[in-house]
Structure 1
């Protein structure tokens, strides 16, 4: 069996083991968490202040603070594509006072990094927070108005059509590689340090297309300089009903949206994990938070800890297949 396949199987097994550990926690330990929380909580997010993920974390933190009567302080633990924050969480006491809102890089790092510094069994999944659809945008000077026309361009001029991503090994890079292979084309990958960094080149025509969050491009559409060709999403977005998903466009294997979710350290009493899960579900159901998240291009979604564990196992399989079949490497 190939190393990458073994690695993926190991991650899925780790998720199952983590689930078993949580179920096996003694009820006496869980009972001791009845007074939780009785001091301030730290909620880590691996993105810089002012972005959509940071804003979402702060809304959740404010809601939990109001509900529980204790400060929930957001800490921007930026660096290494989320690995620093995840490593910090894995080493934190399993008492519920340190929690992490991660992006889907928490899975991708395990599949791509030779030493990510954490293992899945060191984490206790709490709940999904949202699905993060990824959009394929083109400059208005590009003649293609849909994905089919873009693929036709790429077939006519191999290597001349390009796509920007927000980094080597990012979800955008992986989706673009899958699309290349499934469509039988050779669109050139150009890695940027973030979606905002690729925007100037997209508008000027230095790069044909670029992948980025729906929220980012939604804010740019009013300027009339870009257009959306497709989205990686489970379904069409309410804000863009005329933009098809990659699955609808004929490329279901490339239809890989990101996600954001909450994690605690493994060994956290089940009562605390469940308390967080229920509180986050209530927070995200509030109209104000729902509307704000939708404006960011997020698709709000919560689930129970066991459901989140199963979803993470599915994410591992999907992303590992895409990485393996397209020989994605960080260098």
Structure 2
């Protein structure tokens, strides 16, 4: 006789059989997932992509983000929209970007301060494990500049002066716990000097007081310092990168000037949330690297005092990991704290 009660059939199903069905369904889902992800990646982007910038509009990070967004929009045929989310040294915007879905529709532009922040702020994400590196966009030095009245024409003379007058030479920074503060304290450690830190709320006031002679030394971005150097209001002693820069061919690196092992680079790059499909990561990387090879890109970045970078996602990831460890030691050794 036919059983017209489906619930009886369901109840009478062997428990082992039910377990096998569940396992089979789970395996089917796992097998289907890569195909679905591949299909989504192949179709990406099919809607606007946002680039979270963890800094205020109008600065160097914002400029670079908007330039790259325009290039990506042209290359990938979808709008790339910049959203500024400043605060907490860049941590608010970085966290928002990193905690977005890993579908390629939210990217985050980070700066080299991203690798300092984990050591000076309490952050709510893992700066390595919770993100996907995509591409390094730019690279450039800080310029070590002094007020013209400082009795040091070379970096070696500044080191000698600072050692002769411990704690009497004052260096400005854009804020406690900033990349400028960390780079300056790193110099103290490497050179064996004891210059005294004076924090400001931003590079503008720090520059103003260095020109006025309230502070004597400032580790400045090239875009901020070059007009003042050209006007004779500041003297440049060295660049912090391991190589000289075209804009200042006669200015030595810190290493050349007698402080071995000192190398600090300012950079910008794109990251995404962890778990982004490699196909999407590689597509963005290729589009950015293509843009970085353009003469227009070189000229635009040079206006901000930096040069194109490029490279693979893996290379950018290695840079981030290496610098996080380097700054962790510097912050501990110099007792650096954020505002």
1:269 equivalenced with 2:310 (yes/no): no
Query: 2-side partners of 1:102 and 1:182: how far apart?
Result: 27
Larger radius of gyration: 2
1:139 equivalenced with 2:147 (yes/no): yes
Q: Secondary structure at the match of 1:64?
A: helix
1:104 equivalenced with 2:112 (yes/no): yes
What does residue 326 of structure 1 align with?
Answer: 334
What does residue 122 of structure 1 align with?
Answer: 130
1:227 to 226, 235, 238: 235
- Structure 1 residue 222 displacement after superposition: 2.5
Query: 1-side partners of 2:291 and 2:35: how far apart?
Result: 27
2:325 to 317, 320, 323: 317
Q: Secondary structure at the match of 2:257?
A: coil
The 5 Å alignment of 1:169-184 reads 169-184=177-192
The 5 Å alignment of 1:283-322 reads 283-322=291-330
Query: 2-side partners of 1:275 and 1:36: how far apart?
Result: 9
Q: Secondary structure at the match of 1:124?
A: strand
Query: 1-side partners of 2:337 and 2:237: how far apart?
Result: 27
What does residue 67 of structure 1 align with?
Answer: 75
CA contact (8 A) 2:297 2:308 kept: no
What does residue 217 of structure 2 align with?
Answer: 209
Alignment length (residue pairs): 306
Q: What are the superposed Cα offsets for residues 193-224 of structure 1, whole Å, 9 maximum, x if unpaired?
A: 12111122111110011111011111222321
- When residues 330 and 78 of structure 1 are mapped into structure 2, their CA distance, relative to the original with a 3 A threshold, is closer
What does residue 44 of structure 1 align with?
Answer: 52
- Structure 1 residue 324 displacement after superposition: 2.8
Query: 2-side partners of 1:27 and 1:250: how far apart?
Result: 56
1:185 equivalenced with 2:193 (yes/no): yes
CA contact (8 A) 1:175 1:255 kept: no
- Structure 1 residue 173 displacement after superposition: 1.5
- When residues 253 and 323 of structure 1 are mapped into structure 2, their CA distance, relative to the original with a 3 A threshold, is farther
CA contact (8 A) 2:188 2:195 kept: yes
CA contact (8 A) 1:30 1:270 kept: no
Aligned-residue Cα RMSD (Å) equals 1.7
- Structure 1 residue 306 displacement after superposition: 1.5
1:198 equivalenced with 2:180 (yes/no): no
- Unaligned 5+ segments in structure 1 are 1-24
CA contact (8 A) 2:98 2:108 kept: no
Task: Give the TM-score normalised by structure 1.
Answer: 0.88
- Structure 1 residue 185 displacement after superposition: 2.3
- Structure 1 residue 320 displacement after superposition: 2.1
Q: Secondary structure at the match of 1:261?
A: strand
Task: Give the TM-score normalised by structure 2.
Answer: 0.86
- Structure 1 residue 308 displacement after superposition: 1.5
List structure 1 segments (4+ residues) > 3 angstroms apart after TM superposition.
25-28
What does residue 5 of structure 1 align with?
Answer: none
- Structure 1 residue 143 displacement after superposition: 2.2
Q: Secondary structure at the match of 1:193?
A: coil
- Unaligned 5+ segments in structure 2 are 1-32
Query: 1-side partners of 2:134 and 2:309: how far apart?
Result: 12
What does residue 8 of structure 1 align with?
Answer: none
